[in-house]
């Protein structure tokens, strides 16, 4: 969905993973690609460079020639699932920007929402499936 603000036109998308939600906006026509996550730089937000790399993977796989400013609001989950939710949101926004990128991003698996979440704990058990130790006598 393309929307106009006072100074820029942007494309907004939502990415999800486990309980993490990423609301992503990409602004076209920047001097260099910059990331702002919850008003912080990407290197400051994610504790390791690997997580920042996961978040940027959508741009490297799609081989986009244009540069974008990315702003995102992340909530819920852990740092790894937030990075994957951000990648999912960026991928969706790139497809909204250029439909020809869909093939590359879909082949990489970035457009599919990974729905695996933690299984709920059942009564009578210690965790979701772990039962208390059983004694014969």
The domain segmentation of the chain, as residue ranges, is: 2-108
Q: How is domain 2-108 classified at the architecture level of CATH?
A: 2-Layer Sandwich (3.30)
What are the E-state strand segments in the chain?
2-4, 9-17, 20-28, 34-37, 40-41, 68-75
Q: Which residues contact 110 (CB under 8 A, 6 or more apart)?
A: 57, 58, 61, 87, 88, 91
**CB-CB contact of 5 with 99 (8 Å):** no
What is the mean pLDDT of the segment spanning 12-21? 96
* Mean predicted lDDT score pLDDT of the chain: 91
pLDDT digits (tens, 9 = 90+) for 72-84: 999 999 999 999 9
Q: pLDDT tens-digit profile of 79-115?
A: 999 999 999 999 999 999 999 999 999 999 999 999 9
Crossing angle between the packed helical segments 79-97 and 49-62, to the nearest 10 degrees: 20
């Amino acid at each position: 969905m393309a929307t106009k603000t006072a100074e820029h036109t942007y494309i907004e998308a939502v990415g999800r993973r486990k309980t993490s939600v990423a609301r992503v906006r990409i602004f076209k026509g920047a001097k260099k690609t910059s990331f702002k996550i919850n008003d912080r730089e990407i290197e400051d937000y994610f504790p390791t460079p690997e997580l920042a790399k996961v978040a940027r993977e959508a741009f490297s796989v799609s081989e986009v020639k244009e540069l974008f400013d990315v702003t995102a609001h992340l909530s819920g989950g852990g740092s790894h699932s937030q990075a994957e939710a951000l990648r999912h949101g960026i991928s969706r926004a790139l497809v909204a920007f250029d439909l020809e990128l869909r093939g590359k991003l879909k082949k990489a698996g970035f457009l599919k929402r990974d729905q695996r979440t933690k299984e709920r704990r059942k009564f009578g058990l210690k965790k979701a499936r772990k039962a208390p130790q059983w004694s014969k006598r």
